[in-house]
Every structure is written in structure tokens, then in C-alpha cells.
Chain A
């Protein structure tokens, strides 16, 4: 369905993607994780033909991307993180406009609009102006627009940013339903629990490379170890970073948390002693088996302290 081999993208002297390989089969939900600047946006732009690349091969739906861009675009859709719609148009006017520019007409238009509306539960809102919709409803309209060409592949870029938990749950449910329609979803999110909840496979990107890729089960099965997360109260970030550097298997994340891989009593005692010596107060210590979040942090935080 989507096959990327040795992909290289250069911007002047920067290398946002280097020798990237990725494969996503038909009918799966494929999650993409990565800290800011990891190359997620660049990759999605390349897959949608919005930016070019220097080396490598990309095949989508069995067609080389470069030569079949228009045909591939007709069978795929890009649902951006921002609400790429018109506030002054009603829901139905938005849908008609985006269908119209894709030259969708007649029976197909009616059928596809009905599908987009019903999948996103927009039936009671069709005549409402987009500006009057709630955040979650706007997100659903944003997705509905992406369904107008009845695509085989859907690229989602953080579709649940800034909405309430109930709306988020509804959107995730909608995305999961695409799997039953045999559509392939490429899903980008910063929320690990979303990836864990809906994705069959995932890839973790860091500094333009895929550092781990596979099915969710295999990614987590290979990590039977445990981890501990120490959450501090208003710590000095630099101080905390220095402490993390001084202890093996300890990473700083979210500015106030330390994650300890494979913690044991000796390791934890030394770390806590250091924290006490620097007068850093603790909020909580949480022990857990390694989940996607801790895996992500352990793979990306050295290079990117903001992860």
C-alpha cells in the first residue's frame, strides 16, 4: 500500500529525512510518533506531493509517487492539524465546495457527501455556519472534508489537538471505523495513548530517521522491562538535566519528570539522594511496565530534551 525505501530529503544544508524506510499495508492504522523536528511533517508533505525529495523511492497504492501524483492524490486525502475549512460557509457549503474543486459531481457527490456526514455524525449540523460549531464539531467537519473523494488512504496530522475528551473519543472511534472500510490510515499524534488505542503498527521518528517500527504488540513485547517516573515540583530544569546525565538509564522529559529504565533499589536510592541534596521536592513516583510513552522517551529524549 505505502512503501518508502531509502528516502532522503535535503533543505539547503539540513537533512530532515535520511535513508528512511517504511512500509504500511492496506487496511491498517499506522501511527507515526516523533518529537518536534523529527521529520513527521516533512514525510507527510512528501507523501502528499506537497514537497519534493532528493533520493529514494516511494510507492503508494502500487504506483510510483513521482509519476502518478495526480492519480494517487485522487485516491488519498490529507487531513491537516489546522481546521482547513471556511468559517463563513455552512457545513454543507464547505462539503460542496471541497467536492466541487475535486470535480466530484452527480450521484457520486450525493453519495460521498452522505458518507462524510454520516461517518462524522454531522446530520443535525449541515445548515450551520462552521464558525458556530464547537471545537469537536469543527474537527469532525475537517475530517468529513477529507472523506469526500472516498479515499483509500487517509493521512491524519494530529486530528484531536485542542478538543475535549468526549469529542476526542468520538473522533478516535471514527478513525477506527475506517479500518472496517478497508482504508489505510497514517496517523500522527503526540498523544501516546491514542496511538496505543487505535494503531495496529507504529514508527518512532527521531532526527529524520525511523528509530523503531513494527506492530504495537511487537514494539511493547520486546520491552518486558519496567520503568519508574519521578515527577518533581517546580524543579530547576538545568539542575534536573544534570542529575539525569549523572545516572545511567535516566532521562529527563516534560521539564519536570525523570524516567528511570529498569529501576532497582540501588539506582533509585542514589537518584533520590541526589534530588534531596539539591532540595528538589517530589510530587510522585510511578512504577510501570514499559509502555509506548516510556519507549518513546527512551528512544528520543537524549537528542531532544523537549520530547
Chain B
């Protein structure tokens, strides 16, 4: 009996071109687009902001500001000549995000204990976010600290050469003074945009089954095929099992297809390839839990609504809501604290955390037991509610 139901379900899906596109092509395209789109955001070797410098000081010190800033890969210098306020505004309305003005008395002021005026003046384009301005501020403050210390050292050389000598060779370079290690990754290894975005799109893609699954179910109900099967002694648990098993297989195919896209296709487009992490078992656990959650949601929607249109609308909206709340579309760390707490109500968030544990944090199956069980529990809970609703509606003939 189950064999016949599985074969039927697979044939129906395989012959439904729209369902296939929604299940396999759309998530793969998502991964390609988002990996490429976020490549610059998460990558380390691409500038986030463009700048230019107006150097009225023209000294070794002002040139040093220029040199130290060039080393910072977050910023890209545009060589423009800005003579007046109009040109400055034009630059800031164009590609330049900030303009650093080095005043003529910059060198003179570097050694002053009390500053009457700021050492540097920064003009920022209005579309630059405050977080980005903070990046500029901290980079320039570091450069200025370094230069003021050098100035003090030079002054000391005259009166206290021994002490000044001790200051020679002090390093201020970030890579020398800070050792940054990404949790779960090897030394020097940096998480790529692919590694950070693919888990989100796998989770999102798995929930796409809501639409084809509920559509098939509602068609079966409205055409009385389910009623006919019921009259053929097919129980509700058998009917649900005939739905759950094929869609769990489909979800697994989706997961491995999307991982395949991350590993083999994304690098062809110039982004870094996805790496699998350390636990295949953990991946299977999280994806199985997610599968149950998605299937539970699909069947609950299918048994609760009356038409295919209602199912596709409610299914689509719940997919987007789960995704938006669950940190799929906007990373959780970008959200305010209240929203970050709210993410916990979305099963997509649990699945995402589980995948991030595997893909990003390098953790094993043990670490994702909690998320996997929560997802499976959520799915089974929804299936139980769906069972109650479906048996009520079947008995009432509605």
C-alpha cells in the first residue's frame, strides 16, 4: 500500500514542472545570486567605502596618513583633485563615501597636548550608515595615535635618546597586535560569503515544499480522491505517511543539490566554494528535523484551507514570515535585541542555527541534537493538529 502511495507522489511531483522549479531550481538560483551578492559584504578583500584625500599639509606625516589608509582593504582611494566646496559636494554625491581633509597645520598640531582644532576633517556622504562611519573613525584614530606617538618619540630622541630607542620598532599593525580566530575554523581561515549564506537558503528552500505539497493535497480532497481512498480502507496515518516519506526524500535531494551548487557551481562564478563542515550526520539530523517541520506546516495548511489559492497564499506568506523572523533574509546579528529574541519562534531560525553549527562553527552531531529535536517536535505537533482537523472535516464531509 505504502509503495503505491510513494510511487504516485513521486510521479506527481516529477510531472509538475512548476513544483520542480520551485523545489530545486529556485533555491539553487537563490544560492548563486545571494552568494555573489554578499561576496563583497562578507569578504575581506573588497572595499566597502571609497574615499579621497585633500592634502593641504603635504608633509611626510600627511603622506603617512595616506599610506596607512591605503593598507586598509575596507577602503578604496579615488584619486580626485578637489579644489573647492562644489567639487567636494560633487564627489560625495558620486562614488566617494568620505573625503579626508588634512589641514596645513596637521604636522604642527600632531605633537600638541591640547588640540584647539581637530587634526583631520572628514566629510561623509549622506547615504553612509553610522556603522560604516565608525569603521572610518576607528581606522583614522588608529593612524593618528600611531603618528602622535611617533612625534613624541622624535621629540624624546633629542632629550632622552635611550627611552626613545626603546620605542623603536613598536608595531601598530592589526595583524601583529591582534590574532583573530574564527570559531571552529583553522588558523588564518576566514568564513566565506558562501559559507554564511548557503545555510540560510537551504532552510528557506526546504520550506518551498509547502506549495506543491498542499496543492496536491487540496486537489485530492476537492476531487474526492482522498474520500475514495478513505473508502478503500486507507487510514489517516497511512495517508499522512504516504505524504511524509516522499517529501522527506525530496527535501534531502534539495539539501544535497544546494550543497552541490555551493561546492561546484558557486566557485565557477568567482565566489569561494562551500565546505561541508565536520559532520554529515549532523547535517542529516538538522535537515530531517527541518523536513518534518516543513511537512507538518504544509499538511496543516492543506487540511485547514479550502482552495489551492488559499494554500498558495498562506503557504507563501508563512514561508516569507518564517524566513524574515528567522534571520534568513536579514542576518540575526543585524537585528535589534527584541527582534533577535523573536527569531526564536521561527523554526527556520532553529534550522539555521543548526546548519551554522555545522557549516560555520565546525561543530558535530551532538551540538545540533537540540535544534533537530525541536524541529522534529514542531513538525510532529503540527501533524497531530492536522490529523485532528482532517478527521473532523472528513467526518463532517467539509
Q: Please list the residues of chain A having a beta carbon within 8 angstroms of any beta carbon in chain B.
A: 11, 41-42, 45, 48-52, 70, 73-74, 77-78, 80-86, 88-89, 93, 96-103, 145, 149
Contact = CB atoms under 8 A, between A and B. Distances in A.
Contacts of B233: 70, 73-74, 102
Interface in B1-48: 1, 3-5, 7-8, 11-12, 15-16
B312 interface: no
Interface string B240-267: 0000000000000000000000000000
A52 B231 CA distance: 13
Q: By CB atoms of chain A within 10 A, which of B222, B223, B396 has the most?
A: B223
A89 B225 CA distance: 13
Q: Is the interface of B mostly helix, strand, loop or mixed?
A: helix
Nearest to A93: B11
Contacts of A102: 1, 232-233
Interface in B210-252: 222-225, 227-234
Given A52-B395, A96-B4, A100-B7, A85 B225 contact: yes
B12 A86 contact: yes
Nearest to A88: B15
Contact of A50 (B3, B11, B223, B231): B231
Contacts of B223: 82-85
B239 to A, nearest CB: 9
Contacts of A74: 233
B12 A99 contact: no
Interface in B345-382: none
Given A84-B223, A93-B11, 11 more contacts: A49-B231, A50-B231, A78-B228, A78-B231, A80-B224, A96-B4, A97-B7, A98-B232, A101-B234, A102-B1, A145-B228
Contacts of A85: 223, 225
Contacts of A42: 397
Contact of B3 (A48, A81, A83, A100): A100
Interface of B: 1, 3-5, 7-8, 11-12, 15-16, 222-225, 227-234, 394-397
**Ranked 8 nearest A-B pairs via Cβ:** A100-B4, A84-B228, A78-B231, A80-B224, A84-B225, A88-B15, A84-B224, A97-B8
A51 B397 contact: yes
A159 B225 CA distance: 15
Contacts of A98: 4, 228, 232
Contacts of B234: 101
Contacts of A45: 397
Contacts of A83: 223
A73 B203 CA distance: 43
A77 B228 CA distance: 9
Q: By CB atoms of chain B within 10 A, which of A52, A84, A98, A102 has the most?
A: A84
Contacts of B222: 82
A51 B12 CA distance: 29
Contacts of A103: 1
Contacts of A86: 8, 12, 225
A80 B227 contact: yes
Q: By CB atoms of chain A within 10 A, which of B229, B233, B394, B396 has the most?
A: B233
A81 B228 CA distance: 11
Contacts of B12: 86, 88-89
A41 B232 CA distance: 18
Contacts of B396: 11, 51
A50 B394 contact: yes
B1 A48 contact: no
Contacts of A82: 222-224
Nearest to B226: A84
A100 B11 CA distance: 15
Q: By CB atoms of chain A within 10 A, which of B8, B16, B222, B397 has the most?
A: B8
B109 to A, nearest CB: 79
A42 B227 CA distance: 13
Q: By CB atoms of chain B within 10 A, which of A49, A93, A99, A100 has the most?
A: A100
B224 A101 contact: no
A76 to B, nearest CB: 8
A156 B3 CA distance: 28
A48 B394 CA distance: 12
A41 B396 CA distance: 12
A100 B15 CA distance: 20
Nearest to A73: B233
A191 to B, nearest CB: 20
A96 B223 CA distance: 19
B232 A50 contact: no
Q: By CB atoms of chain A within 10 A, which of B15, B228, B396 has the most?
A: B228
Nearest to B242: A101
Nearest to A145: B228
Contacts of B11: 88-89, 93
A98 to B, nearest CB: 7
Contacts of B232: 73, 98, 101-102, 149
A101 B225 contact: no
A122 B3 CA distance: 25
Contact of B1 (A80, A84, A101): A101
7 contacts: A11-B396, A73-B231, A84-B228, A89-B12, A97-B4, A100-B1, A102-B233
Contacts of B395: 50-52
Given A50-B394, A85-B225, A88-B16, A101 B5 contact: yes
Nearest to A47: B231
Given A51-B397, A52-B395, A100-B1, A80 B7 contact: no
A152 B303 CA distance: 33
Contact of A101 (B4, B15, B16, B397): B4
A50 B398 CA distance: 12
Given A41-B397, A101-B1, A102-B233, A50 B8 contact: no
Nearest to A157: B224
Contacts of B1: 100-103
B8 A80 contact: no
A148 B228 CA distance: 13
A74 to B, nearest CB: 7
A99 B232 CA distance: 10
Contact of B230 (A50, A89, A96): A50
Contacts of A77: 231
B231 A101 contact: no
A88 B224 CA distance: 16
